[in-house]
Structure 1
Amino acid sequence: MARAPAPRSSPAARPAWRRRLSITLKVLIGLGVLALGALVTAVYIAKAQLPSFEDLKSSPNGQMIRVHAADGTVIVSIGPSYGDWLPFDRIPAVMRSATISVEDKRFYSHLGVDPIGVARSVKVRYDRGRWVQGGSTITQQLARNVFLNNQKKFGRKFREWILALAMERKFSKSEILELYLNKVYYGGGAYGIDAAARKFFGHGANDLTLSEAAIIAGLVKAPSNYSPTADAQAAVDRAGVVLRVMAENGDISPTEAAEASPQEVKLAPEPRQNSVRYFTDWALPQLEMLIDETEKPLEVWTTLDLSMQRAADAAVRKNSPAGAQGALVALDRDGAVRAMVGGKDYVSSIYNRATQAQRQPGSAFKLFVYLAALEAGKTPESTEVDGPVSINGWSPRNSSRRFSGTVTLRTAFAYSLNTVAAKLGQMVGFTTVADMARRFGISSTINTQPSMVLGTSEVRLIDMTRAFASVANKGVAVTPFGITKVTANNEVIFNHEVDRSRVLVAPYVAAQMTDLLQTAVNTGTGRAAQIGRPVAGKTGTTSASKDGWFLGFSSGITTGVWMGRDDAKPIAGLQGGTAPARAFAQFMTAAVAKRPIEQFETEVTLPEWQLEPDEQSYFGEPDDAVFVDENGDPVAAGGVPAQETYEAGQGVERPSARSERPVPEVDPGAPPPEQQLNQDWIDRVTGRDPRQAPPPNQPRNQPPEDERPYQ
């Protein structure tokens, strides 16, 4: 008897897990189809939006900036540099092979994204706990370099995949490789293999050897780490990796790999960086405040005078003491920076001591003390008693270690008498002096302790030079600037306009200050700064000869010079009237050589006979400047309270070179003796040639109501 067939299971009897699995698979398949459709759609949309091959060839990476001197000469090009564009058939085969081997060995087989490379990257990420390998193909790298950035985010990575797939649909493999090798960044500002070959080896990419191609191909992974100019050994080691991979892939034979010698590759010498870079490093960051353009190539026109820059560089190098640094800034009458030297050697130190360093100015700070006194009603002929003075326990003394009785302000300024400066500061108020310094452009912190009149507040050279330039400009503010014009694609997008509207002091005050400054050069501490034409200026020397300054002006050019050690250690013999004044004179002689001689409309009166200076006075004696501790109390060098130092008679003693001609002590309360001048003495003190008649004295500046123009 035949058995009846078993009844079939109904759908309801099927296990629940099978139903859920079936539904899940269908949903996943549906989502996959939708995702694939979305991906294909996104790829073709991206393909339609991609620029043409010719457009991509002509589009630069990054912003090029060419900087011009005042005469139009290009002094530096900043930004990406490009060599010749090499078509695919002109790119050396070893360069193509080296790049593909080390960057994307399945370049000719994938569709723009390499699933194997991605999987390997994920595995390494899992093993090491961080992203080490990106798994990016050459096409992906090209898409990132041209269209995206280097942020390691999934959103950016997804866009990179879309673009890479789209580029593979639009361009051939040879076109992609041509774009890549001509546009990828190889370090040192070089984009493309030709620029890299010229930078590192001194010749074009047409003539690359196997070893050179291996070095360049190895740079893409980390241009800053493997750059031959930054780390030659790292570049050689990386090239060895490239050669080994090429041999493993069959692009070269093991013998060729063994015979290649990356360590024997001769590198092109680095171009010499001169002091012009101090100026461009200061000026170019200002572009962010002047313009908004960040993509178009820029032409930046500056104020730098190349002949003056060369003269400034030579003056600083020649006159700076051994082991010391030097800095110089020269401003034209409108504030244009004509020369800037931030140190003796830019290659060894890019630190700009002209604009960044803050140092004590010594007696050069007395400019603001006397400006405040002149504005308060004093005149160069006003008298003060050079005698003992004590202000809140602080008792300054003069470098000559003596007092000279009643003297004019002209004499006191010419010989940098500390006691008179202290009395003037007390008279007008130390806060008033600080306000005057701030008014004239001192941007650093200024203390208001009594010792501040001797220059205990740290200042910048460019700020001090600006202050002296404002005095030369008849009391009208001078603002230093280095950029005159900026163009983008021949369109002017910035033009500098000089502001001449801000008056700092009345013209008569500036004229009287010029009178004092000219006297300091003609007969006082700044005598070494004479250049055969009218010069006005002031020396500055800090305690223990740590800093030497000279600042002055002539024929429309104002120049500031600073010298000292970066570690602020003393320098034997450094005084404002020696090396800095000589550097000033050397530079200014060249700087104003082609400018007409300009007379100051002030009368230079010789100091009183009893203050006939000794040789040391001509070189700007240290100012016995003191420091201010954390409580604001004056402290001398070494941490000894200033008043104790002065009362004990300590300090730097320098024997007079003319001690055989003693100057009699003068009773501070006695009237000045009758002056007894003769022509021999005048010629000796002023250094004038007796065969040449001195220029006639100009009329004395009158009170405020007489504001005659002057230079």
Structure 2
Amino acid sequence: MSDSKKGKRPLVADRRYASKPAKPTASKAKKPVRKRKASPRKKGGLLMRALRWVLRLVWVITWRVSAVAVLVLALAVGYFWTTLPNVTQLLDGRARGSVTLLDQEGKVYAWRGDQFGGAVTAQSVSKDLKNAVVATEDKRFYRHFGVSPRGIASAVRINLSEGRGALQGHGGSTITQQTAKLLCLGVEYDPSEWKSEAAYVADCRRGSLQRKAKEAIYALAMEVKYSKDEILSIYLNRAYMGGGAYGAEAAAQRYFGKPASALSAAEGAMIAGLLTAPSRMAPTSDLKRSQDRAATVLRLMGEQGYLSDADVAQAQQNPATLSSAARRKAGGYFADWVMSTGPEFFTRNTTEDVVIRTTLDQRLQRAAEEALIDVFENKVRKGSKAQAAIVVMGADGAVRAMVGGRETRVSGVFNRAIQAERQTGSAFKPFVYAAALELGYSPLDTVDDSPMTINIPGSGPWSPRNYTNDYKGRVTLTDALKDSLNIPAVKISESVGRDLVRRVASDFGIESDLAAGPALALGASESTLLEMTGAYAGILNGGSSVTPYGLVDLRLKGDAEPLMGSGGGIGERVIQDGAAAQLIWMMEKVVSQGTGQRAKFGGREIAGKTGTTQAARDAWFIGFTADYVAGVWMGYDDNTPLTGVTGGGLPAEIWRETMLRVHDGLPARPLPMRPPEGATRTAPAPTQRTEPPRTTEGIIEFLIRDILGGGAPNPDNTNRYPSGSDR
């Protein structure tokens, strides 16, 4: 058995691989090893590794720098976030207060100062206003995070294409950024740090790169602090919307006389259109331009789905129009005058919201404006630069209407009714006759209308003349006033004493310096239309002085009790009521029979006086009915003589057209006049006075004259007296 196993192969698997070659012995020579060249693939690998290393380095630097930048940005945003107050504290950002003026019926007719109608929210205003603002100012407002890179890039592109700097012109600011700018990035106005509020605002609106960056950070903080609607609410309350209106509520009241919650699509679009250029686009400045801008806003609202095509067409075809108060240009001359009569810290420089009730009657104001326009359009040559002014008041001095020039719908301009001091001419003569009547003269007393010469010390002889250059001989005082004769007026003035005439005029309210010489009687002194009209009101009320006034009371908004009342009204008696009644009778003859006949209307009893100064530089008519006193002045601002105009001409016609409208619907009432008794006596010549005046002051004056030898107590040394009569 054992023999049979010999020679057999073992039961193992055959080697699949050859045995490793034996290591060469040391005796064998080594073959040289050839170096291989690097392949292009190996070179590419090295470049890729280098590039990857560079990219990794850039990435490491970038994300670290970015992380630092984000951290700094977060800290900056966080800092501003901590400084932001509650949203309600940011709604009213005015530095000044407002003044609201009410007419005699309690209706608003004018505004002054920075108007803030009250806080509104994005939810409380009209939906159309809210949508119009978003569509116009920032259509992605509810989608961005406070800053719009797309908007900034677009603005830069537009600026560069229009040849401006990248940050000049369009800013690409979101509503949030605009609100940040309105808040001046949290810097409040401090009068001690800024030269003026204008300088503060200019600094807030700077457009430098640094300022833009800070504005963006502040906007981000606002987005974190407030909701979108809260940001929009701040914007709607603080944005300036022209006409002194800050915020949507003030603008709605200012232009349309309604709350912001009641605005239509056309009205909301007009207010939204103001945001780009509020002063230039304000409808009170240029209604047509404002309506055109509103049409563009309506189109944008339609394109963005806020309005249907039909709604857009309807609103564009029926554009918004101004309220009656807004059309009156914020009260014009009357409001300006009232503002000038109140205390400055409650009117021009108020920090409070003030309400002033005034004497204005808007119906009468329209009457005066329409009358002035009518006469200048139909009876004054085209291109004439002549001006006119009108004042209408009651016998107690309450001013009901005032027009200070031909441009009636203006404010903040030269007011000829209160600022122009002009020679009064024969409109002054009633005060001469008032002094005479107070001394006991009768309207039927006579005076000699014949040539006269007065030697004025230091000036030489002065010889007044009548307008017609003729003389009527002996005339009554009534006829002398009716026909506006100069020589009788001078003789009466010299007879009763210039000082008494001056005192009577001054007590009636003529506050200007009155001439000291004999030309005082001919209106050589200057006065304003308001003063003269107020003085005539004193004649109508029975001889008591009046202080013209327009302010009835002043109170802080929301308060029931006024802080101050009227500073005007009836004052002390100047002449007795009997003398006043006789003077009214004389002045009635001026209108019914004399130089003022063109003022007659409607068969009413009217009293008044014409006045034309030397060379017709000024023409006046002042008169009254039993209900109202009105004064009219006409002339050139540069003192150029009028051509063919006297007080009994165009001024009397303006007066008639005014009072005709003023008295529309009023029953006719008789004047409080008293005819004189039939006795007649002759007024003594000024150098032949034989009896003392009948007042204590007159007796003293007489004695002084007697001691001085009859000379004029206060001669005028200028020798600039009118020599021609003025009618």
Which band: TM-score by shorter chain? 0.5 to 0.7
5 Å-filtered alignment, 1:535-574, equals 535-566=606-637, 568-574=640-646
Aligned AA (2:335): T
Is the Cα–Cα contact under 8 Å of residues 390 and 403 in structure 2 kept in the other structure? yes
Q: CA deviation at 1:370?
A: 2.5
Provide the C-alpha distance between the structure 2 equivalents of 1:503 and 1:550, rounded to a whole number of angstroms: 24
What's the TM-score, normalizing by structure 1? 0.61
Provide the C-alpha distance between the structure 2 equivalents of 1:527 and 1:90, rounded to a whole number of angstroms: 60
Provide the C-alpha distance between the structure 1 equivalents of 2:181 and 2:489, rounded to a whole number of angstroms: 68
Q: CA deviation at 1:479?
A: 0.9
Paired position in structure 2 for 1:99: 137
2:238 is the alignment partner of 1:183 = yes
Gaps of 5+ in 1: 1-34, 117-126, 253-263, 609-629, 637-641, 655-711
Paired position in structure 2 for 1:409: 477
Q: CA deviation at 1:419?
A: 0.9
2:125 is the alignment partner of 1:86 = no
Provide the C-alpha distance between the structure 2 equivalents of 1:109 and 1:599, rounded to a whole number of angstroms: 74
5 Å-filtered alignment, 1:667-678, equals none
Aligned AA (2:566): H
Match of 1:108 among 137, 145, 149: 145
5 Å-filtered alignment, 1:217-232, equals 220=275, 223-225=278-280
Paired position in structure 2 for 1:334: 396
Q: CA deviation at 1:427?
A: 3.8
Q: Deviations over 1:523-550 (max 9, x none)?
A: 4323444454543321212345444322
Q: CA deviation at 1:265?
A: 11
Provide the C-alpha distance between the structure 2 equivalents of 1:70 and 1:635, rounded to a whole number of angstroms: 43
Paired position in structure 2 for 1:496: 566
Is the Cα–Cα contact under 8 Å of residues 547 and 562 in structure 1 kept in the other structure? yes
Gaps of 5+ in 2: 1-71, 154-163, 190-196, 305-315, 381-385, 455-459, 682-715
What's the TM-score, normalizing by structure 2? 0.60
Paired position in structure 2 for 1:517: 587
Paired position in structure 2 for 1:398: 466
Aligned AA (1:458): E
Match of 2:563, SS?
strand
Paired position in structure 2 for 1:619: none
Aligned AA (1:486): L
Match of 1:450 among 501, 509, 518: 518
Provide the C-alpha distance between the structure 1 equivalents of 2:553 and 2:583, rounded to a whole number of angstroms: 34
Paired position in structure 1 for 2:379: 322
2:181 is the alignment partner of 1:141 = yes
Provide the C-alpha distance between the structure 2 equivalents of 1:207 and 1:110, rounded to a whole number of angstroms: 30
Match of 1:634, SS?
coil
Is the Cα–Cα contact under 8 Å of residues 360 and 457 in structure 1 kept in the other structure? yes
Q: CA deviation at 1:302?
A: 2.1
Match of 2:631, SS?
strand
Task: Classify 1:161/1:473 alpha carbon distance in 2 versus 1 (closer, same or farther; 3 Å).
Answer: farther
Is the Cα–Cα contact under 8 Å of residues 197 and 208 in structure 1 kept in the other structure? no
2:612 is the alignment partner of 1:576 = no
Match of 1:301 among 357, 366, 378: 357
Is the Cα–Cα contact under 8 Å of residues 434 and 583 in structure 2 kept in the other structure? yes
Provide the C-alpha distance between the structure 1 equivalents of 2:469 and 2:223, rounded to a whole number of angstroms: 86
Provide the C-alpha distance between the structure 1 equivalents of 2:501 and 2:595, rounded to a whole number of angstroms: 22
Paired position in structure 1 for 2:534: 466
Is the Cα–Cα contact under 8 Å of residues 46 and 163 in structure 1 kept in the other structure? no
Match of 2:379, SS?
coil
Paired position in structure 1 for 2:666: 593
Is the Cα–Cα contact under 8 Å of residues 342 and 352 in structure 1 kept in the other structure? yes
2:140 is the alignment partner of 1:72 = no
Provide the C-alpha distance between the structure 2 equivalents of 1:142 and 1:72, rounded to a whole number of angstroms: 34
Task: Classify 1:401/1:132 alpha carbon distance in 2 versus 1 (closer, same or farther; 3 Å).
Answer: same
Match of 2:546, SS?
coil
Task: Classify 1:45/1:437 alpha carbon distance in 2 versus 1 (closer, same or farther; 3 Å).
Answer: farther
Task: Classify 1:478/1:165 alpha carbon distance in 2 versus 1 (closer, same or farther; 3 Å).
Answer: farther
Paired position in structure 2 for 1:603: 676
Is the Cα–Cα contact under 8 Å of residues 415 and 524 in structure 1 kept in the other structure? yes
Paired position in structure 2 for 1:366: 429
Task: Classify 1:597/1:166 alpha carbon distance in 2 versus 1 (closer, same or farther; 3 Å).
Answer: farther
Match of 1:486 among 554, 557, 572: 554
Match of 2:341 among 271, 280, 286: 286
Paired position in structure 2 for 1:171: 226
Aligned AA (1:304): L
2:403 is the alignment partner of 1:346 = no
Q: CA deviation at 1:290?
A: 8.7
Q: Deviations over 1:408-452 (max 9, x none)?
A: 323322222211122233345555544443332223444334334
Aligned AA (1:489): G
Is the Cα–Cα contact under 8 Å of residues 387 and 635 in structure 2 kept in the other structure? yes
Q: CA deviation at 1:310?
A: 3.9
Q: Deviations over 1:555-604 (max 9, x none)?
A: 25222223345554423254426651673476167169347535423438
2:581 is the alignment partner of 1:526 = no
Q: Deviations over 1:270-315 (max 9, x none)?
A: 6674496332232234343594794554443222234433443444
Q: Deviations over 1:496-542 (max 9, x none)?
A: 36554423344454344334323433443234444545433212123
Match of 1:422, SS?
helix
Is the Cα–Cα contact under 8 Å of residues 523 and 606 in structure 1 kept in the other structure? no
Aligned AA (1:316): L
Provide the C-alpha distance between the structure 1 equivalents of 2:519 and 2:651, rounded to a whole number of angstroms: 25
Paired position in structure 1 for 2:161: none
5 Å-filtered alignment, 1:108-127, equals 108=145
Q: Deviations over 1:123-180 (max 9, x none)?
A: xxxx99xx99999943432424996465169899999999978755632355224421
Q: Deviations over 1:36-95 (max 9, x none)?
A: 999999867744xx3444x65689896454433323343345535689753499586784
Task: Classify 1:511/1:489 alpha carbon distance in 2 versus 1 (closer, same or farther; 3 Å).
Answer: same
Aligned AA (2:608): G
- Over the residues paired in the alignment, what is the CA RMSD in angstroms? 6.0
Match of 1:388 among 451, 468, 483: 451
Provide the C-alpha distance between the structure 2 equivalents of 1:284 and 1:179, rounded to a whole number of angstroms: 31
Provide the C-alpha distance between the structure 2 equivalents of 1:73 and 1:238, rounded to a whole number of angstroms: 30
Task: Classify 1:330/1:375 alpha carbon distance in 2 versus 1 (closer, same or farther; 3 Å).
Answer: same
Aligned residues: 572
Paired position in structure 1 for 2:719: 633
Task: Classify 1:277/1:526 alpha carbon distance in 2 versus 1 (closer, same or farther; 3 Å).
Answer: same
Q: CA deviation at 1:336?
A: 0.9
Is the Cα–Cα contact under 8 Å of residues 562 and 580 in structure 1 kept in the other structure? no
